[in-house]
Chains A and B, each alone.
Chain A
Amino acid sequence: EAGVAQSPRYKIIEKRQSVAFWCNPISGHATLYWYQQILGQGPKLLIQFQNNGVVDDSQLPKDRFSAERLKGVDSTLKIQPAKLEDSAVYLCASSFRDRGSPYTEAFFGQGTRLTVV
C-alpha cells in the first residue's frame, strides 16, 4: 500500500515569512497527526485529527500555526509568520482506528525539513 506522502521534503525561508506543508495519509486512515521534531529531540505532537475534527491541539502555537483537514483526507499545516525556533522536521502520520484494538500504530511520512534563517 502507498505510504504517507508529504511535500515539500525541504524548505528554507526567512524569518517572518509564511510556509505551508502538505500531507496525504494512507487511504482509509481516519486519524492524522502533525509532529514537530527539533534536532536531537523526540517528535512533539502539534495536532491530531480524527476524520476532519480536531482531537488534540494543545501543543500547537495557535498564534502562528494553523492546520486543517477539510475533507477528512489530506491536510495542510501552515506557519505564519515563521520564527528561527521553528526550524525542525515536520512529520505527518496517520493511523487506522480499529474497533477491536483501541490503539493502533501510526505510519509516518518522510517529513519536511524546515530551515528558518
Chain B
Amino acid sequence: AQSVTQLDSHVSVSEGTPVLLRCNYSSSYSPSLFWYVQHPNKGLQLLLKYTSAATLVKGINGFEAEFKKSETSFHLTKPSAHMSDAAEYFCVVSGPYTGGFKTIFGAGTRLFVKA
C-alpha cells in the first residue's frame, strides 16, 4: 500500500527567506517521488522527481528535495523564496500496484510569499 502525507496545509514565508515544504510517504516498495506545482488557474507542472538515483534531487526554479529512506521523507526546499513561488505544491508517490503502478497525490501545501 502507498500513501503520502504533506505535513502542512499552508506555509507562509517572507521573500528572500528559505522555503521548506514537508512530505512523508509510505510504500511497500521503493517508490518514485515527485513534486508538482500548481499556480492559480494553471495546470500542474513538474518541479522535480526522484527515481532511485541520487538522493538529492535538483529541480526547476531553484527547488530541490532530498530523499531520506530512513525517515520516509521527501521534503522540498528552496534557499530564497520569490514572489512568483506563491502557489500550491503537491508531493506525489508512485509505485507498483497490481496490474501496473499507482500514483497518489498528497493533499497539497499552499505557499504564501510575503513582500
Interface residues of A (CB under 8 A from B): 3-4, 33, 35, 41-45, 48, 50, 55-56, 91, 93, 101-103, 105-111
Contact = CB atoms under 8 A, between A and B. Distances in A.
A52 to B, nearest CB: 14
Q: Is the contact region of chain B dominated by helix, strand, or loop, or is it mixed?
A: strand
B84 to A, nearest CB: 19
Contacts, number: 58
B105 A43 contact: yes
Contacts of B94: 103
A105 B105 contact: no
Contacts of B106: 42
Please tell me the size bucket of the interface on B: 20 to 34
22 contacts: A4-B43, A33-B103, A42-B105, A42-B106, A43-B44, A48-B102, A48-B103, A55-B99, A56-B97, A56-B99, A56-B100, A56-B102, A102-B32, A102-B51, A103-B31, A103-B32, A103-B94, A103-B103, A105-B34, A105-B49, A108-B45, A110-B43
A45 B103 contact: yes
